[in-house]
A and B are shown apart, each in its own frame.
Chain A
């Protein structure tokens, strides 16, 4: 959907004052982009330096010798591939569970009237209020009860539970923006409610669902605190915890830390840029207008 106000043409600056404003705008925007990109520039250039150069007295902006093999070396210096797989399993699993639980909940919240609907909506909001870090003591306890400490399954469930609220919120907003008429027609044609939802609503709601999927995936991918607490086995660490291997007690191997950080960052940044537009639309339409 394109709003009519998103003009593609440029407003021509006419007066000198307007021209000065244009120039100021461009200067500001360029500076802004440079500041935002600065840490990524540092990450990239440092990942290409040798350790000696990083710790040298006289700092350099760009590497003197471009150590491209840092990017290949990290894979053997730490079980980076293992961490990658763990991150994919945790983020993928959490996404699947929170969407599988979230879709029917969002469907009921957008299509049905029932007692306690407001209460449930309130519960969804409240659950969003509590970050896992405040509940770690309790989470640790329940995880030991189910023997899920130091397992990926435990991480999957915690991430799913804490991201579910957002998924429900986004999905409900999407479903509410779609007219229920089509589903009604489908039920008259003999579909039951579940079939009508799957065959009629979900295909139309696909953009919203993809947004929710990617959002949960990124959140679970970037999660650090719970993984740090629950996982002690090196072979089970996700990337966020695993890369801190290079953050040793005496000496930080910055070049390897940043090389692996880049591998962990690039995929999610790309995903995020793809959904950026939909996400905020969903955020405010689902969150504010209800």
Chain B
């Protein structure tokens, strides 16, 4: 009898065990290792030589590129997430209408979400190329420009294009999150609002936005994390060059770790990235767990 009781108390944990093992070994342990490495003196071969205190962090902070990299990361995250959220929301409003071919358009909108970032970024790198890029060809054929334009005259221009690709691949996710929120709104809300004389903007702000708020929260917070950590787009188009002008934290840390052999500093950059993301993670957890309590 007693044995059975113990079994019942333990059984939920047995169900969780495989998943916990997977997480502990392949996520929590690397997290621990990154923290340990960030506080250690590491040889070029990656061997930990001893405790180094905050040396790695001061080295990172002191390096001339770091300020720019941090700024790029913030700009990249805010621009991509911000514009994707606004345009994804608008797009969802449009796609929520009934029209012929809606199913096809919805399927097409999913394409960028399903395509590997590395491939999507590769195509755009080709499109904007100043020598043989097809954007110039297209615009000339359409008669919009008369001679080839150099689309990437400066590093900033490259960075802007990288943001564009980031937006291009992020919008579908926002659109579909908002769409699923929109479809759960009862049409009668709008009908009675129209009867009461509410205009488009009033309906938007007083009915639509409050009701899709939770969908928007999920998509925004997840996007902040995905975009902040996004590596392939920048890596494919510019590799963060020239001179770190288009680097974000993740491409910068990748170069530090695997090109320059500065593992300790790379780990310190990871930790800095963690701390920034932890703020977002806790906001997310507070929001979603609070939601959970409300529903329970």
Binding site for B on A (CB under 8 A): 3, 5-7, 9-11, 22, 25-26, 28-29, 32-33, 36-40, 42-43, 46, 54-56, 59-61, 97-98, 100-102, 104-105, 107-109, 112-114, 117-118, 120-123, 125-131, 133-142, 157-158, 160-162, 164, 168, 193, 218, 221-222, 224-225, 229, 240, 243-244, 247, 254, 257-258, 261, 264-265, 268-269, 271-273, 276, 279-281, 283-284, 287-290
Contacts and interface: CB of A to CB of B under 8 A. Distances in A.
Contacts of B18: 100-101, 104-105
A59 B136 contact: yes
Given A36-B108, A104-B16, A142-B33, A290 B295 contact: yes
B180 A161 contact: no
B117 A222 contact: yes
Contact of B107 (A22, A135, A276, A289): A276
B107 A137 contact: no
B31 interface: yes
A55 B15 contact: no
Contact of B31 (A42, A135, A164): A135
B263 A137 contact: yes
Interface of B: 11-13, 15-16, 18-23, 25-34, 37, 46, 91, 94, 97-101, 104-120, 122-124, 126-127, 131-134, 136-138, 140-141, 168, 176-177, 179-181, 183-184, 186-187, 214-215, 217-218, 222, 225-226, 229, 231-232, 235, 250, 253-254, 257-258, 263, 266-267, 270, 273-274, 277-278, 280-281, 284-285, 288-289, 291-292, 295-296
A222 B122 contact: no
A280 B105 contact: no
Given A43-B123, A290-B291, A3 B184 contact: yes
A264 B119 contact: yes
A138 B274 CA distance: 13
Nearest to A22: B99
13 contacts: A28-B94, A32-B109, A42-B126, A101-B21, A105-B18, A133-B231, A133-B254, A137-B267, A138-B37, A162-B26, A222-B118, A225-B235, A268-B115
A101 B30 CA distance: 19
A218 B114 contact: yes
Contact of B177 (A5, A240, A284): A284
Contacts of B179: 280
Contacts of A193: 11
Contacts of B180: 280-281, 283-284
B126 A229 contact: no
Summarize B's interface: helix, strand, loop or mixed.
helix
A289 B295 contact: yes
A46 B34 CA distance: 42
Contact of A127 (B23, B117, B132, B253): B23
Contact of B281 (A46, A105, A129, A168): A129
B98 A7 contact: yes
A279 B289 contact: no
Nearest to B213: A288
A130 B176 contact: no
Contacts of A108: 12, 15-16
A29 B27 contact: no
Contacts of A127: 23, 27-28
Contacts of A123: 23
B100 A10 contact: yes
A137 B257 contact: yes
A141 B217 CA distance: 35
Contacts of A22: 99
Which of A37, A61, A161, A289 is the most central at the interface, judged by chain B CB atoms within 10 Å of its CB? A161
A101 B23 CA distance: 10
A240 B117 CA distance: 9
Contacts of A46: 126, 134
Given A97-B22, A101-B18, A130-B31, A288 B115 contact: no
B288 A225 contact: no
A36 B22 contact: no
Contacts of A160: 22, 26
Counting from the closest, the 8 A-B pairs by CB-CB distance are A138-B30, A59-B137, A272-B114, A131-B229, A138-B33, A161-B26, A108-B15, A222-B116
B270 A137 contact: yes
B231 A161 contact: no
A55 to B, nearest CB: 6
A127 B28 CA distance: 8
Contacts of A7: 98
A138 to B, nearest CB: 3
Contact of B285 (A61, A126, A140): A126
A19 B119 CA distance: 40
A170 to B, nearest CB: 13
Given A55-B132, A133-B250, A288-B214, 13 more contacts: A39-B124, A42-B123, A97-B22, A101-B22, A134-B34, A136-B258, A140-B257, A160-B22, A225-B254, A264-B116, A268-B116, A276-B176, A283-B176
